[in-house]
Amino acid sequence: MRNALILFFTLASISFSSFASINTSKLNPSNLQTASVSNYVIDLSSGKTLYRKNSNVVMPIASLTKLMTAMVTLDAKLPLNQKITFTKTDREHMYNTYSRVRVGSELSRGETMHIALMSSENLAAAALAANYPGGYNAFIRAMNAKAKALGMTHTHFVDSSGLNPKNQSTASDVAKMVRAAYKYPEIRNYSTNGAVHTAYFTHPRYKLGYTNTNALVRGKNGT
C-alpha cells in the first residue's frame, strides 16, 4: 500500500484528500471516471504522476490557498503561542464576508492557523497575513515567491484566504504545493487531528466550536 494524493478540481474550487490505503500498483487510470473538470493523482512517496485530466487548466483554487498561507507563516518562524488581534482591516482583506470571530478579540497564532486550516476560517487567514513582518502586502508577495520556488509556474495569489477568484493555479501546480505542505508537521496536525475543535478567544473572553471541513477526517478515514 502506498500514499496517494488525489486532487479533484471543479470550476469554483478544489478539494484535497490524502489516502494511506490506496494500492497504487493496482490503480488503472482507464477505470477512473470523474465529473470534475480537472483531476490529478500523485504518489506521495515518489512524486510519480498516476493519473491526470486537464491538469494544466488554470482556475480559481479557493480555500486550498490556505495551505500556502500556513507554509509562509511557518517559514517565517514566528512564535505560534504569540497572541494576534483580529481587526477591522482583516475583515476588509476578506471582503467583509461573514465570520463568527469578533473584531478586537485575540487568539494565538497557532490556534489561528488551526481554525484556518481545519475549518477554512477566512478571517483567520487574513489575520495571519496581517501579522507577518512587513504586513499584508508583504505576505502576499511571500506567497507568490514561495509558489515560484516550488515550481508552481501557473499560480498566482492575491489574498491569503482564497476568497478572491484571482487566486489561480492548476492541478499540477497544486500537487506541488500540497506535497510541500505535507512536510510541515503543524499543517498535518492542524488539518487532520480531529473532527471538531474549540478555540478560546480573549478580549473579550469567549469560545467558538469549529468543525473540520474535510468529510474524510470527520468520518475518521483521513490521514
Which residue is catalytic, options 66, 146, 172, 176?
66
Cα(46)–Cα(115) distance, integer angstroms: 30
**Between residues 220 and 143, which one has the greater pLDDT?**
143
Which residue is catalytic, options 120, 160, 169, 172?
120
First to last CA, the chain: 14
Please answer whether residues 223 and 20 qualify as being in contact, where contact means their C-beta atoms are separated by less than 8 angstroms.
yes
- Label residue 18 by pLDDT band (50, 70, 90): very low
**19 CB-contact burial (10 Å; exposed 0-12 / middle 13-18 / buried 19+):** middle
Which residue is catalytic, options 63, 119, 160, 161?
63
pLDDT tens by residue, 29-81: 666 666 677 877 777 777 788 778 888 889 999 999 999 999 999 999 999 99
Cα(120)–Cα(5) distance, integer angstroms: 20
pLDDT tens by residue, 82-122: 999 999 999 999 999 999 999 999 999 999 999 999 999 99
Distances (CA, A) of 153 to 156, 168, 169, 171, 172: 9, 11, 9, 12, 10
63 in active site: yes
Cα(25)–Cα(27) distance, integer angstroms: 6
120 in active site: yes
Cα(27)–Cα(18) distance, integer angstroms: 15
Query: Which cell goes with 121?
Result: 476560517
Average pLDDT over residues 172-186: 91
pLDDT tens by residue, 150-169: 999 999 999 999 999 999 99
Cα(140)–Cα(36) distance, integer angstroms: 29
Tell me the whole-structure pTM to 2 decimals.
0.86
Strand partners, 168: 60, 156
**Between residues 5 and 103, which one has the greater pLDDT?**
103
Cα(214)–Cα(219) distance, integer angstroms: 9
Strands, E assignment, the chain: 2-9, 14-22, 38-43, 49-53, 59-60, 83-85, 106-108, 168-169, 196-201, 206-211
13 in active site: no
